[in-house]
Chains A and B, each alone.
Chain A
Amino acid sequence: MKQRRVAPVPSRRALAVVWLAATIGFVGLLFVARRLEGPRDDPDQAEQRVGFLDEGMLPIAAPVITAGLPAAGRATVVVFLRPADAADECTAMSRQVGSAAALVAVLSGPAPCPGIPAVHLDPEGRTAAAYGMRAPVDRGPSVGYAVVDSETRVRYRTLDPHPAANSREVLTILRAL
């Protein structure tokens, strides 16, 4: 006769060790993950790159920034950048997203922004505030982007320390409009 296989029942002490190990392990992992968050990340990670349109108070009317943008008829991506990153991010964003939407760069200080003609200086963060951009961990200027639909409504906004590196994500949001 074929024997039926049964799992052994661990001792009560072993069960307690499993629970303690899980507690210590996951608390430790969560602590390490939080330490790995960067100074330009959102202090509330739930609010960063949520991946869906119209979160919270959205949509809201998008204020015109410069050169008549955002304008009705075509989606616009408003990129918020710090001067040190502007050159690389502008070049990459114009190459990777420029064919899918109009681009506006909002810089917190003067810097070259190759590939994006519509550039706006926002040293006091008023434009970022008007778009509802959140303050990052270091409390400095917001770095990220907002997506405005063809009816000039802000449908998505997020902090993102490296918007160009996540350009596929920007394109995914644009497709969802």
Chain B
Amino acid sequence: MTAGARVRGPWRLCGWCAFAIAVEVGLYASYRGHDARFHWFTHAFVGSAAALTVMTVVTLVRRRPVPRPLLWPMVTHVFAMIPDLVFSGGYAHRRWMDVFLGHISVHFVPGRNTTWLVVFLIALAFYLAAIDRVRPPEVAR
């Protein structure tokens, strides 16, 4: 740790944690209304895997963990869900909506959500490994 730096308390992380979880619960509840929980999982896994990949690269380049790590997957999840939010407003899906992290196509991969769960867990493992790799040598393992 550099001189003059101080460690941020864990309560700060948990504040963002609570916020991110509250948003995800809200998104899930929005899907329950039209009986499409399947879609929440798809876009949560795909969005989170995309965010974790970026977070891994940023962590390795900057040599420290990204700030507010729970917000990144939440933001990409919302981005991936934009066509569903638009659909609720009365606008049907179109093929070009794949620009939102493959919003249409990702539903049809073999294995469906199980495949995306595995992708997400692999991306999470890489991110956690990146954090471990940039650990300052004085921090006990």
A and B are interacting partners: yes
Please tell me if the beta carbons of A8 and B7 are within 8 angstroms of each other in the complex: yes
Q: Does B91 contact A (CB under 8 A)?
A: yes
Please tell me if the beta carbons of B112 and A45 are within 8 angstroms of each other in the complex: yes
Q: Does B41 contact A (CB under 8 A)?
A: yes
Chain A residue with Cβ nearest B1: A6
What residues of A have a CB within 8 angstroms of the CB of B5 in the complex? 3-6
Number of interface residues of B (CB under 8 A): 48
Partner of A50 from the list B41, B93, B117 (CB cut-off 8 Å) is: B93
With A33-B37, A172-B90 as given contacts, are A6 and B112 in contact (CB-CB < 8 Å)?
A: no
Please tell me if the beta carbons of B112 and A4 are within 8 angstroms of each other in the complex: no
Interchain CA distance A50-B132 in the complex, whole Å: 41
Rounded to whole Å, the gap between the CB of B26 and the closest CB of chain A is 15
With A46-B107, A51-B92 as given contacts, are A7 and B34 in contact (CB-CB < 8 Å)?
A: no
Q: Does B38 contact A (CB under 8 A)?
A: yes
Across chains A and B, the number of contacting residue pairs, with CB separation under 8 Å, is: 112
Partner of A46 from the list B37, B38, B92, B120 (CB cut-off 8 Å) is: B38
Rounded to whole Å, the gap between the CB of A9 and the closest CB of chain B is 5
Chain B residue with Cβ nearest A36: B37
Partner of A7 from the list B67, B92, B94, B141 (CB cut-off 8 Å) is: B67
Please tell me if the beta carbons of B92 and A33 are within 8 angstroms of each other in the complex: no
Q: Does A57 contact B (CB under 8 A)?
A: no
What residues of A have a CB within 8 angstroms of the CB of B114 in the complex? 30
Please tell me if the beta carbons of B92 and A173 are within 8 angstroms of each other in the complex: yes
Please tell me if the beta carbons of A166 and B34 are within 8 angstroms of each other in the complex: yes
Q: Which of B39-81 contact A (CB under 8 A)?
A: 41, 45, 64-65, 67
Partner of B4 from the list A3, A45, A166, A171 (CB cut-off 8 Å) is: A3
What residues of A have a CB within 8 angstroms of the CB of B124 in the complex? 18-19, 22
